[in-house]
Amino acid sequence: MKTPQALTSLRYEEFLPVFDGFSEGVIITDRHGTIVYYNTAMAAIDDLPPEEALGKTVLEVYDLDENTSVVMQCLQQRRPLIDRALVYRTRMGRFSNSIHTVFPLFKGHRLAGAICLVREYNVLEETIASISIPRAKAVRSTETLYTFDGIIGEDPEFLRSVNTARMAANTPSPVMLYGETGTGKELFAQAIHSHSDRAKRRYTPVNCAAIPENLLEGILFGTSKGAFTGARNKEGLFGRTNGGTLFLDELNAMAIGLQAKILRVIQERKVRRLGSLRETPIDLKIISSVNQEPHVAIAENCLRPDLFYRLGVVFIPLPPLRERPGDIEVLSLHFLAKHSHALGKRVVAIADEVLQIFHNYHWPGNVRELEHVIEGALNMITTSSTLKLLHLQSHLPTWHRLRGSKETLSASNGLAVAAPHLCPPPTTIQRTAPGGSAPVEGNLAASQAALERQTIEEALARHQGHVTRAAESVGISRQLLHYKMKKHGLQRSDFIPVAVDVSVPIRPKN
């Protein structure tokens, strides 16, 4: 495809053959918005011959202005615009419902132009669905999904969570899982499905954080022909999973507006495709997960309270690995056996110094991180080696070895010191106690909690118990401050000055 002479000044001509093969539409403009490159896929999306676009500005080709054109916005703001939904019409009358990502192009510090990547809604929906739907096919719980027998742990709190999940499996009540990244939320969701009477029906996991809002709605509810340009009759995941289990992972990442629509489906047990007036009854076991404490997510407007109360009928917290230290060795040996077999290694034990490092580490990535560390360590052992013990210096990742050196352990009284770029592990520190100057001992989590309490106490005292002003002074919402006050056992009344009636004389005691 030929391009105008203006493209030469941008010096991108050597890379254009790559864009010619893209399935996405690609437009490159100069800094004035004049189109200097327009690939074949973009011509198909717009149903517009390339010669009708090249050499013209985007405002001449499309029925847009500087406020509605994402390319012009990008040029004006000089920053990327990611996954912007746009329904537009070309000057030839062609409508398109698409997703746009635009990046500014710089030559040194000078703005040279912009590159815009365009994907039609129905094409992107099909791509995402093609990735998600195979995992939603009907499977037996013993074939591809985890069961409760595959959940490893002996910690009493963790076992309570397992027992609660097991009891909730055969009830129609929704289940909400709460835990940090890597604590095993999807593993629990699969086990609940496998243990239920729906085990032979579909299990559909949906990562609410990975799919743009406007696409997620169509994927969940389905679409009807005529709902928008290019829309077809297509069943959504609610309909496809009917009779089975739907897992809404990272629910707190879903847009608030879409959460309201999800709530209606759950309450009415009926779903209506986009663009349709007909409702279809559905029977689903809904499992959801959040990676943030629900009351905090509600205070920060990331989770609707009514949706939380509806989906959190059975609420199961999953403790992080740092709170179940007794399981570290059990899990380590389990992952050692699992990956030793997969990698063809003969390692059957872990050295004591390695276990000591594991116990001293904070594990911000939780169980998933522990598994990856052990798998990575096994890759450092040659297949021909007769070594049967996972040692410290030669096998652990570099940053774990630094934590485990004798010098480091000695310097920190037996506790490993965190690398600067990682979450710090629990370590003995000195800090000032709230309300006083005496130093107290404790781990990092306790120190952070004490500092938070002290900050809130000072703010409430400074503003004489006025919650709104105190919240503003520490930079959080009023609702979140109320939650933190409750967490720390603080009462607003304790910070309101007591009024003294000076009109009544105080008589000295005889």
257-277 pLDDT per residue, tens: 899 999 999 999 999 888 778
pLDDT at position 340 is: 84
Same structural domain for residues 144 and 193? yes
- CATH assignment of the domain containing 346: 1.10.8.60
From 317, 347, 375, give the residue that closes a domain: 317
116-153 CB burial, b ≥16 within 10 A, e <16: bbbbbbbebbeebbeebeeebeebebeeebbbbeebeb
Distances in whole angstroms, Cα of residue 489 to Cα of each of 270, 450, 492: 43, 12, 10
- Structurally, how many domains does the chain consist of? 4
pLDDT at position 249 is: 93
- CATH assignment of the domain containing 107: 3.30.450.20
Residue with token string 């130093």? 439
Cα-based angle 490, 300, 100 (whole degrees, multiple of 5): 165
- CATH assignment of the domain containing 471: 1.10.10.60
Q: How many CB atoms lie within 10 A of CB 321?
A: 27
Contact assessment for residue 302 and residue 308, using Cβ atoms and an 8 Å cutoff: no
Contact assessment for residue 251 and residue 211, using Cβ atoms and an 8 Å cutoff: no
Is the residue at 244 inside a domain? yes
Is the residue at 63 inside a domain? yes
Distances in whole angstroms, Cα of residue 377 to Cα of each of 1, 181, 353: 51, 22, 14
Is the residue at 507 inside a domain? no
Could you tell me which residues come within 8 angstroms of residue 470 by beta carbon, excluding any fewer than 6 positions away?
456, 459, 460, 462, 463, 481
Is the residue at 306 inside a domain? yes
pLDDT at position 28 is: 92
Question: Structural domain of residue 273, as residue ranges?
Answer: 137-317
From 411, 441, 473, give the residue that closes a domain: 411
Same structural domain for residues 396 and 286? no
H or E element: which one contains 289? strand 285-290
The torsion angle over the Cα atoms of residues 209, 210, 212 and 213, rounded to 10 degrees, is: -30
Same structural domain for residues 243 and 330? no
Same structural domain for residues 276 and 163? yes
Same structural domain for residues 108 and 213? no
Same structural domain for residues 77 and 166? no
- CATH assignment of the domain containing 226: 3.40.50.300
Listed as ranges, residues in the chain with pLDDT below 70 are 1-15, 89-97, 121-144, 226-231, 382-445, 479, 483, 498-510
Same structural domain for residues 167 and 293? yes
From 300, 317, 334, give the residue that closes a domain: 317
What are 279's two structure tokens?
């409702």
Residue 380 is classified by DSSP as T
> Measured on CA atoms in the order 455, 457, 458, 462, is the torsion positive or negative?
positive
Same structural domain for residues 402 and 473? no
Is the residue at 209 inside a domain? yes
Contact assessment for residue 374 and residue 332, using Cβ atoms and an 8 Å cutoff: yes
Could you tell me which residues come within 8 angstroms of residue 251 by beta carbon, excluding any fewer than 6 positions away?
176, 208, 259, 288, 289, 290, 303, 307, 311
Same structural domain for residues 355 and 466? no
What are 235's two structure tokens?
């069943």
Contact assessment for residue 66 and residue 72, using Cβ atoms and an 8 Å cutoff: yes
Residue 418 is classified by DSSP as P
Same structural domain for residues 339 and 288? no
H or E element: which one contains 100? strand 95-107
Contact assessment for residue 319 and residue 157, using Cβ atoms and an 8 Å cutoff: yes
* Backbone angles phi and psi of 33, in degrees to 5: 90, 10
Same structural domain for residues 438 and 401? no
Q: DSSP string of 291-360?
A: SS-HHHHHHTTSS-HHHHHHH-SEEEE---GGG-GGGHHHHHHHHHHHHHHHHT----EE-HHHHHHHHH
H or E element: which one contains 19? helix 16-20
The helices-and-strands tally (H runs, E runs) of the chain is: 21, 18
Is the residue at 126 inside a domain? no
* Backbone angles phi and psi of 202, in degrees to 5: -75, 145
424-456 CB burial, b ≥16 within 10 A, e <16: ebbbeeebeebeeeeeeebbbeebeebeebbeb
pLDDT at position 386 is: 46
Same structural domain for residues 270 and 387? no
Please state whether beta strands 175-178 and 285-290 pair in parallel, antiparallel, or not at all (unpaired). Answer: parallel
What are 61's two structure tokens?
């080709």
Please state whether beta strands 81-89 and 95-107 pair in parallel, antiparallel, or not at all (unpaired). Answer: antiparallel
Q: How many CB atoms lie within 10 A of CB 337?
A: 13
Strands (E), 400-478: 429-432, 439-442
Cα-based angle 200, 153, 166 (whole degrees, multiple of 5): 35
Is the residue at 55 inside a domain? yes
Residue with token string 């407007």? 301
Is the residue at 208 inside a domain? yes
Query: Among candidates 337, 372, 320, 328, which has minimal Cα distance to 153?
Result: 328
